[in-house]
Amino acid sequence: MAITLTEHAAEQVKAVATKNGVAGAPCLRVAVKGGGCSGFSYQLDLCNGPVAGDEVFRSHDVEVVCDPKSYLYLNGTEVDYSDRMLGGGFVFNNPNAKASCGCGASFQA
């Protein structure tokens, strides 16, 4: 399965890329690292492109890349964006998460 972005999330990635002077279609690295209040925390970064071994997807004209270890936890995840005043920002709809913290920035697998 792929890691996908909603159209709204893709628009936000493109806006951040433009603000940071990225020319052309942006590349977004999605990853997890140990930590956070539930065990794993999500990471999003603009990048120059995939490296050897990365899983590569395209969603709404944004290239999405993920390292193999993170992909084990992110397979099937949809990244959305919320405009709410409290708790706004990128939101992860991760079917592999057994539990997540109240802010949604970390999860338990």
Provide block-wise average pLDDT over 10 residues at a time, the chain (109 residues). 96 95 91 77 93 97 97 96 83 82 56
Whole-structure pTM value: 0.85
Placement of tokens 């951040």 in the chain: 16
Query: What separation in angstroms does the CA of 45 have from each of 59, 63, 98?
Result: 16, 12, 24
User: What's the CATH fold of domain 4-101?
Assistant: Hypothetical Protein Aq_1857; Chain: A; (2.60.300)
Q: What is the pLDDT of residue 105?
A: 57
Q: What is the pLDDT of residue 36?
A: 60
Q: What is the pLDDT of residue 34?
A: 81
Q: What is the pLDDT of residue 50?
A: 96
Q: What is the pLDDT of residue 109?
A: 65
Helix (H/G/I), strand (E/B), else coil: 17: helix
- Pick the closest to residue 45 from 36, 53, 54, 87 (CA basis): 54
Q: What is the pLDDT of residue 9?
A: 98
Q: What is the pLDDT of residue 104?
A: 52
Structural domain boundaries of the chain?
4-101
Q: Distance (Å, rounded) from C-alpha 10 to C-alpha 62?
A: 6
- Pick the closest to residue 54 from 31, 34, 85 (CA basis): 31
Q: What is the pLDDT of residue 38?
A: 59
3-state helix, strand, coil in the chain (%, to 5): 20, 40, 40
Structure tokens at 72: 């084990």
